[in-house]
A and B are shown apart, each in its own frame.
Chain A
């Protein structure tokens, strides 16, 4: 955020958390996905611009997920000379990667939104590094496959 915030995310009055900070079970996260009321019960509403920025980040991750899914189809359709096992493996890897990326997008969005409502630090994540490395490996594999025309 480059512009100054008039009100800030919220006053840093950290509410008394009975469960201790940072302890958020995956099941509680999952329930938040479908329950806007539950989200509103947490802390106070942040500056709307922060929520919109979080939404755009979510959409960017969703586009990444869709690109991976589309890439999976592209591998299956545009590498016809590649052997079936290798082609299927690459396509399924990309499709699964897209699915994981989409699930992680909403999970991260929910956790960021809740952190902003509570006035906590935003969650850190290793996911971008992991995804970057995985995409790099898949890309390298595809270059090798395309360059050497492997029959698999």
Chain B
């Protein structure tokens, strides 16, 4: 079974493209987070623009930026030909972003 050499010199690529698939999975999840965050932001402004709703909107944006940074870090780690396993802390942070969106949204339900 010949293992194809990638474009990066002598690094051998995984024929199953596991790092690439994982990188795309993080991209998809960031996109899903963007959709959920947009709806949460819309939720915050639904009843009108008030100081409280602007604070919630800012928090929602911060949560999304945090997830983006998390995904970016992990995507960078995927450059290695044998990436290390995801750290439990990063996984917990990603879950925390989802929970934060749910809580922020629940706080602004009409």
Contact = CB atoms under 8 A, between A and B. Distances in A.
B49 interface: no
A59 B28 contact: yes
A105 B96 CA distance: 12
B29 A77 contact: no
Given A60-B25, A76-B110, A55 B98 contact: no
Interface of A: 2-3, 32-36, 39, 45, 48-49, 51-53, 55-56, 58-60, 62-63, 65-67, 69-70, 72-74, 76-77, 84, 87-88, 91-92, 95-96, 98-99, 102-103, 105-106, 109-110, 113
B98 A62 contact: yes
Nearest to A49: B18
Contacts, number: 130
Given A49-B16, A49-B18, A59-B28, A99 B88 contact: no
A-B pairs, top 9 by smallest CB distance, nearest first, are: A73-B39, A51-B85, A102-B98, A70-B36, A66-B36, A63-B32, A66-B32, A59-B25, A56-B25
A16 B105 CA distance: 47
Contacts of B95: 62, 65, 102-103, 105-106
Contacts of A109: 86, 91
A132 B33 CA distance: 21
Give the interface SS of chain B, mostly helix, strand, loop or mixed: helix
Interface residues on B, range: 35 or more
Contacts of B46: 76-77
Nearest to B35: A70
Interface string B1-25: 0000000000000111011011001
Contacts of B85: 45, 48, 51-52, 55, 113
Contacts of A2: 16
Nearest to A64: B32
A97 to B, nearest CB: 9
A3 B16 contact: yes
